[in-house]
Copies of this chain bind each other. A is one copy, B any other.
């Protein structure tokens, strides 16, 4: 059946193919595989790459940073050395960096929380505004959507292409509707599509003239150095673009070492203008006395500098490329000939974004689950879990071994065919 496109099949052929595929599915199910591929979780081999960091701050090392004795209270904004390290990665000013604990998601949440509870930029807090809205480029990251949903935002899906979100639509909303308070962006190796926003897109963001003074771009640069292939050039940074546009207060930028060192014990960082930072620090200083500076200094000592951190990512790349290729090869072999689906071939990041026939994503995910492989829920890449085409599935190849992943993809391809055939057989 791999020889021609599914749409060329006769009903008899489809019925025959359905039976064959159902048999293959049953046979697979009998194997009793159990694998969770729901989230973008590094593999154990990736965690081992950073093992030596656990020794990078032993008891006989000095506990002093330029800023303080890192063991004690204080230095809410993070130690100077960590600011420099992360600023170098982002091409930003160390004075415009805030270094936190292990969660950049928590920093994003906190930015919304401050706007919701207290208000920023002299605006009424969101909790006292009639309605707030967030723009959500789709497909996107479910945890982003969950954060804006938590604060009661109406979420507006914005289509994306290979250059980023539809900037005409973004501009229309941001510049005309004062209820629009933010947009979620993963500008480099986006979750889940893997696209890198073009410089033109980044400049269009920097040029926005929001109707709401408290509108901010939430620029989640989670995968900024997480390459799987060489890029022809470094993408334009939001900080540089906004500086050039004279629009420095329009963004919060985030990154973390969750997928550089340890997801459970990394360091998160935020970059924004000095004016934004001042408001942020004042508010967050109510919530905490400071973040784990011992771990900040441990990271600084492990890496030494930004160049070494970039070098370290090559080790991740070496482990991840075979996994991504396993997924892509399987899709190319099993699904491409049928002409029923499309998927991305990312140059970085953690995901492959798969679009099956309309109306099959939920069914594919269900079939996979019953066959022993848990995928990211269908719809998760859309606000409120609502993919209008029921088509997009996020594939997260990083956690399983190549061998397990090959098995999982075998199942996945069977399930895609099965769902497509179920739809076509009359």
A264 at the B interface (CB under 8 A):
yes
A291 at the B interface (CB under 8 A):
yes
In the complex, A294→B54 CA distance in Å?
Answer: 9
A371 at the B interface (CB under 8 A):
no
Q: Which of B47, B101, B116 contacts A72 (CB 8 A)?
A: B47
> Residues of B contacting A57 with CB < 8 Å?
54
Q: Which of B47, B73, B143 contacts A41 (CB 8 A)?
A: B73
A290 at the B interface (CB under 8 A):
yes
Q: Smallest distance from the beta carbon of A51 to chain B beta carbons, Å?
A: 4
Q: Which of B47, B127, B293 contacts A69 (CB 8 A)?
A: B47
Q: Which of B39, B286, B293 contacts A146 (CB 8 A)?
A: B286
Within 8 A of B (CB), among A289-325: 289-295
> Residues of B contacting A286 with CB < 8 Å?
109, 143, 146-147, 150
> Residues of B contacting A291 with CB < 8 Å?
101-103
Q: Smallest distance from the beta carbon of A10 to chain B beta carbons, Å?
A: 48
> Residues of B contacting A294 with CB < 8 Å?
54, 262, 264-265
Q: Which residue of B lies closest to A285 (CB)?
A: B146
Q: Are B51 and A59 in contact (CB-based, < 8 A)?
A: yes
Q: Are A263 and B59 in contact (CB-based, < 8 A)?
A: no
Q: Are B287 and A265 in contact (CB-based, < 8 A)?
A: no
Q: Are B58 and A54 in contact (CB-based, < 8 A)?
A: yes
A105-B287, A264-B293, A294-B262 are contacts. A71–B59 as well, Cβ < 8 Å?
no
In the complex, A290→B101 CA distance in Å?
Answer: 11
> Residues of B contacting A55 with CB < 8 Å?
58-59
In the complex, A295→B101 CA distance in Å?
Answer: 12
Q: Which residue of B lies closest to A73 (CB)?
A: B263
In the complex, A225→B128 CA distance in Å?
Answer: 43
In the complex, A295→B262 CA distance in Å?
Answer: 12
Q: Are A54 and B59 in contact (CB-based, < 8 A)?
A: yes
A354 at the B interface (CB under 8 A):
no
A58-B54, A106-B287 are contacts. A71–B265 as well, Cβ < 8 Å?
yes
Q: Which of B47, B50, B265 contacts A295 (CB 8 A)?
A: B265
Q: Smallest distance from the beta carbon of A108 to chain B beta carbons, Å?
A: 9
A118 at the B interface (CB under 8 A):
yes
Q: Are B70 and A265 in contact (CB-based, < 8 A)?
A: yes
> Residues of B contacting A288 with CB < 8 Å?
103, 105-106, 109
Q: Smallest distance from the beta carbon of A320 to chain B beta carbons, Å?
A: 15
A52 at the B interface (CB under 8 A):
yes
A28 at the B interface (CB under 8 A):
no
Using CB atoms and an 8 Å cutoff, list the residues of chain A in contact with chain B: 39, 41-42, 44, 47, 50-55, 57-59, 61, 63, 69-74, 101-103, 105-106, 109, 113, 116-118, 127-128, 143, 146-147, 150-151, 258, 262-265, 283, 286-295
Given A103-B290, A117-B117, A127-B127, 20 further pairs, Cβ under 8 A: A41-B72, A41-B74, A50-B71, A54-B59, A58-B58, A71-B263, A73-B263, A101-B101, A102-B291, A103-B291, A109-B287, A113-B113, A147-B287, A150-B283, A150-B286, A262-B294, A263-B289, A264-B290, A265-B292, A265-B293
